[in-house]
Structure 1
């Protein structure tokens, strides 16, 4: 018989891509997680992981098991949710990067209310890296994140891309030195903008760096700078700089919903999948070009 706790650890390792991060999320030591995975491999008489260029990868047998593990845990979590008393409800601790506060979070919260009426929600913002850390520390149940390239983290909500915003169509041409108000350096829009401008030989001056997109938008609105934002987060009154205006192209991003390994008791894997699917559908209907 497969131990569902071993399977939960296995899923946590796969979702986080790391024994270390999985250990933090399930409140065990890294050595304990390693021992659990060895026990699981011994039970199955299969090798589940292989290290490739310092990154943890699943073997073919690991790929086969992950689907079954998710289904087993889905049934387990569903049963626990049905049996749980409403008196034990606690707030859902939800994280969301500031980039997606306006473009994603309202739709997500609306779907949470429909799926689990009466469930209180507490929201914290921060960069994707900061929010992952909070999940690892047990301070968040669930978070919207920007997924790293070539990772399978979380449930996809939408594919978006970065866009340049400016006070007006002629603002860029009027500047000898381009004033920039940028997101924090751990966001790929920052590095893409700076590296791209350097390669193109464009003179620029970074006058502000902030994780607060409302501040960045207001600086653009006041005519003080140009900035970069995720397309879904651009206010309707700001000018989107079209391609071909001499500014570097910004990357595409995948925005996902990821649960901590120790999920909220009212949000097991079955409800989480449904929540992500419904949220993605609403966002796609609202803004088809972002999906």
Structure 2
């Protein structure tokens, strides 16, 4: 059994976009051609990869299993081709990333990538989750990392994170007064889980500040305005997470996804695959 990259590309694109029409437009092929390629792959594997309905395509359990390997096969196919042809990975990638990841876990991954691929230039665009999603959908980004609720595609990888409630280390809060909360602005998708975490506690609280960026959140917490939600990796040294005896707030969970266009350039797809394979680098 040979898994033709041509068929895998059609499968991946349909899985990410969710419709055959959308995949055909992205791949510059006809709807009939893409449907035939997906059916051919399913016949080859002897498995149904999609559940088909009037709403579009949904991956089956076998499709979910195949999708990770399909991405790896296509990335390795591109890398082998370039290396055997003595063509180094080069070009330019537009990478959009939410600020909380750009400031923490991505640094070591991108450093490792750059050390191995010095001819790949990376434009790093740091924006809000909503703005990153809009730029990705309008093809202004090749690869993006943002909240999964903002993009209606299957992510290459999902990071499951907790937002920890953080305060300046030298500040204590009285149970006799409402807890001062620093909250994300209304357009941020992380506001809803943070507000739900507050609502699930028998606690008096009030929003005293809204922060539009990670820098704004860190500044407000360090100044001592109140308690704010942050990913653990972004907590400043002079601040503390409210846990142990202070664990009166539930930590809301968020999901951050890695996305790449199926029709992206080889260097873009290689970068996305490199990030996925090295996602535990710290």
The TM-score, its normalising length taken from structure 2, stands at 0.76
Identify the match of residue 35 of structure 2 among 23, 27, 38. 38
**Aligned partners of 1:172 and 1:25: how far apart in 2?**
56
SS at match of 1:26: helix
Structure 1 position 140, deviation (Å): 1.5
Match in the other structure for 1:144: 145
Structure 1 residues 201 and 231, CA, compared in 2 at 3 Å: closer, same or farther?
A: same
Structure 1 position 39, deviation (Å): 1.7
Structure 1 position 108, deviation (Å): 2.4
Structure 1 position 67, deviation (Å): 6.0
Map 1:236-275; keep pairs closer than 5 Å: 236-245=237-246, 247-269=248-270, 272-275=272-275
Structure 1 residues 127 and 256, CA, compared in 2 at 3 Å: closer, same or farther?
A: same
Map 1:115-194; keep pairs closer than 5 Å: 115-147=116-148, 153-155=155-157, 159-168=160-169, 170-173=171-174, 176-185=177-186, 189-194=190-195
Match in the other structure for 1:286: none
User: Is 1:277 the equivalent of 2:274?
Assistant: no
Match in the other structure for 1:59: 60
**Aligned partners of 1:20 and 1:210: how far apart in 2?**
40
Structure 1 position 189, deviation (Å): 4.2
Structure 1 position 118, deviation (Å): 3.4
Structure 1 residues 37 and 48, CA, compared in 2 at 3 Å: closer, same or farther?
A: farther
Structure 1 residues 154 and 33, CA, compared in 2 at 3 Å: closer, same or farther?
A: farther
User: Is 1:220 the equivalent of 2:217?
Assistant: no
Q: Deviations over 1:226-272 (max 9, x none)?
A: 11011111112212111553643123445453322233332445x64
Q: Which runs of 5+ in 1 are unaligned?
A: 284-291
Map 1:194-209; keep pairs closer than 5 Å: 194-209=195-210
Map 1:14-25; keep pairs closer than 5 Å: 14=15, 16=16, 18-19=18-19, 23=23
Is the 8 Å Cα contact of residues 179 and 204 (structure 1) preserved in structure 2?
A: yes
Match in the other structure for 1:110: 111
Is the 8 Å Cα contact of residues 260 and 269 (structure 2) preserved in structure 1?
A: no
Structure 1 residues 277 and 21, CA, compared in 2 at 3 Å: closer, same or farther?
A: farther
The TM-score, its normalising length taken from structure 1, stands at 0.74
Is the 8 Å Cα contact of residues 9 and 33 (structure 1) preserved in structure 2?
A: no
Q: Deviations over 1:6-36 (max 9, x none)?
A: 532321232x3623996499376xxx77544
Structure 1 position 117, deviation (Å): 1.3
SS at match of 1:91: strand
Match in the other structure for 1:287: none
SS at match of 2:233: helix
SS at match of 2:278: helix
**Aligned partners of 1:262 and 1:247: how far apart in 2?**
47
Structure 1 residues 200 and 266, CA, compared in 2 at 3 Å: closer, same or farther?
A: closer
Match in the other structure for 2:74: 73
The answer to which of 195-204 and 32-41 deviates more is: 32-41
Match in the other structure for 2:26: 26
**Root-mean-square deviation (Å):** 3.8
The answer to which of 217-226 and 135-144 deviates more is: 135-144
Structure 1 residues 265 and 68, CA, compared in 2 at 3 Å: closer, same or farther?
A: closer
